[in-house]
Amino acid sequence: MTLPLADVRVLAVEQFGAGPWATLQLADLGAEVIKIEDPASRGDVGRYVPPFQEGESSLFFETFNRGKKSISLDFRHAVAAEVFHDLVRAADAVYSNLRGDQPQKLGLTYDELREVNPRIVCCSLSGFGMTGPRAGEGGYDYMMQGLAGWMSLTGEPGGPPTKSGLSLVDLSGGYASAIALLSGIWRARRDGVGCDCDVSLFETALHELMYIGPWAATHGYVPPRRSDSAHPTIVPFQNFEAADGWFVVAAAKQKFWEKLCEVLDRPDLAADPRFATMSGRNDHRDELVPALAAVFRGRSVADWLELLVGAGIPTARVNSVEEALVDPQTLAREDVVEHAHPVLGPVRSIRTPLRLAADGESLERPPERGPFRGEHTDEVLRDLCGYEPERLRELAAAGVFGPPPGGDA
């Protein structure tokens, strides 16, 4: 069965998290992703992130780079541009996650490459974009959660600014840039013309303010932090403590509220005019939530799940990470996959959520290990660019792929 992106080839000048996360989505669906790693910095910094790191292999790197190829190329070398252009002729896209001023300096933009391949799509994911006063600055997820206002919204009332437990701006920026890149490829194949894609972590984070952005921009309204991870305006839609743990009740519709009152045997709450509407429940949350919390503390999480889920009310246990990985739904959907690694041993990771299938057959790449640094240099240049062994030896000896044998590391 042909994988959905089996005819897509991406050159990725990427490292760390956000960029590799973007191209991972493409690789999982069959794209050939060729990482171009800088030998002077020993390649992708993700190779060296602890814990569970040995030499140039780490579980961090495996998470973001399974199923990709790796070549070494020193862009500082005078011949590197020639080699890179030969690769561009055989590619659909050039992807990078560098500072916003770097793609132009390194010749990774459409203006620089259109003469080499008029259909090439050049996608940049940077901290702040390729223009503006901060284009030349580096940017990381935690910074963007602070700058875009996320930290001011997160945590308990009166607590310090708080980031998300995961690097959600990095992950979202990866998804956004992957969508942009695929859109550019679609257009190039339709119209014969490539383009630049300019995606930033900062603007991704701003965009993901969602409805809070329009509330603030239009009416100057920003909801206060709520206890127990409560929704800013929908009640009840939050964590509640049971006798033995925590669970989430998500009564996001009027019918769920009415059914909840039935299950709790609290017709008084259903009949109370203060709580009759979504707006009323929000206005009177300080009276309603404590009443519900007192009831929920009287039974176990398992009891509440049986009662509420059985009644069709969206409800979920608050799991630890370990519990999430063995949740019955996780196991039923085979969400944890395994691949072998010659250094790290068996590696268990999380399967892609991008599930495509035809005739009962999965259209995703089977689990594969990430590449060793420069592992595919000769193979890629031979197969894509037609380089003969003698040409490869000359380039290696000249240091185009890094220090020649016996040179300084």
- The catalytic residues are 170
d(CA 146, CA 162): 8
Which H or E run includes 351? none
Which helix H or strand E contains 390, and what residues bound it? helix 389-398
**What's the Cα-to-Cα distance from 66 to each of 22, 91, 168, 247, 348, rounded to whole Å?**
12, 20, 20, 34, 12
Cα distances (Å, whole numbers) of residue 263 to 225, 229, 253, 259: 29, 23, 16, 6
For residues 313 and 257, give the distance between their C-alpha atoms in angstroms, rounded to a whole number.
Answer: 8
Q: Which long-range contacts (CB under 8 A, 24 or more apart) does 257-266 make?
A: 257/281, 259/311, 259/312, 259/313, 260/236, 260/308, 260/311, 260/313, 262/311, 263/307, 263/308, 263/311, 263/313, 264/292, 264/295, 266/291, 266/295
The CA angle 18-364-85, to the nearest 5 degrees, is 55
